[in-house]
Amino acid sequence: MRKLLLLFLLLIFCAGAILFWGYRDLHTAEAHAKADQYIEIPRGLSPTEIVSKLVDEGVIRHKWPLLVYIKYKGLGERLKAGEYRFPSPISPLTVLRKLEEGEQRLSRFTVIEGWTRWDIAASMTRLPELRLQSSDDALRLMDDVSLIHDLDPQAKNLEGYLFPDTYNFPPDSTPSYVIATMVKRFLKEWKPEWTARAQELNLTPREIVTVASLIETEAKLTEERAVIASVIYNRMKRNMPLGIDSSVIYASKLAGKWRNDGRVYQSDLTRQSPYNLRIHAGLPPGPIASPGLSSIEAALNPADTDFLYYVRNPDRNDGAHNFYSNETDFQRGVQVLRQWERNRNAQNNVNANNSNVETTQNSN
């Protein structure tokens, strides 16, 4: 009897030790090497197969504590197929909660400030999940302006309202869903007081977005955006053509004539289009790109200046401009920039010739 009692006590102790070890295992977060990778849990796997897969992937260390817990709690039917990213470290119980919630791989899609709807449509066609045959399919969807009708009843397409940002989409997302998400993000960012501020400037929200799109395509530095906004408004007050080449390029794209080689041709500069701001005063009919928040805020809050011109500053390589209030100083700035460009091109030619000489000498 004494031996049986000792054996019984030993079994209880062992069982208690096993339960304690299992409890600690379930609650202990362990590091693993798959935190930056997706792990697919296919449909139809049993709880045993799911846990075994996670052990094989190194996400959890031991199989049986989690399996016993799933069986005891009756959670087997609640585990969802999907594509999961498990942070490191992570405990088996946290892994289980993620399996109950479900998770899908998200497609990352980035819209860059200053992109046109053509740029966005072309980028969307490179997302295989969207199954777009061509960018024209996406462009047609961008003609649906129902979501922005209240803000911009004049809109004919979504140019300017596809908010630039990086988005995550489930793999079963449709092109319409992707586009609507970008528009809804714009509407979320647009503040009611911005509409009131536009009225103070005697402008509509559409005109503010249009100015912001011009700023976005012209400014490289955040601190210059409000100054460029002031140039736009100062020229508008004087009924001067804005002379912004990004809008000239937009006109050529609308006409299907843009050569996309980085050069603006005489045919672009003389094209009869309301978007050609070399020959038409005032704003173009609508936005020419997707502006970011800093450009919208600059359009709403321009700097107080008398500047009418700006030209790239050749002394800096960060896209900075020099600003001028009269044409004489502006032309001097243009000449300085042109001389800098000639010197740069001459130096590039010298470097290229030297490189060719060295290549010839080495080959000999």
pLDDT tens-digit readout, 43-84: 899 999 999 999 999 999 999 899 999 998 999 999 999 889
What are the start-end ranges of the E strands in the chain? 39-41, 82-84, 107-110, 166-169, 309-312, 321-324
- Indicate if the pLDDT at residue 350 is higher than 90: no
- Indicate if the pLDDT at residue 247 is higher than 90: yes
Which residue in the block uniquely carries the two structure tokens 């009756």? 74
- pLDDT tens digits for range 111-124: 999 999 999 999 99
Residue of 235, 224, 211 lying closest to 326 (CA atoms): 235
The Cα 310–Cα 312 span in angstroms is: 7
- Indicate if the pLDDT at residue 21 is higher than 80: no
Q: Return mean pLDDT, the chain.
A: 90
The predicted structure's pLDDT at residue 359: 43
Q: Are strands 82-84 and 39-41 parallel, antiparallel or unpaired?
A: antiparallel
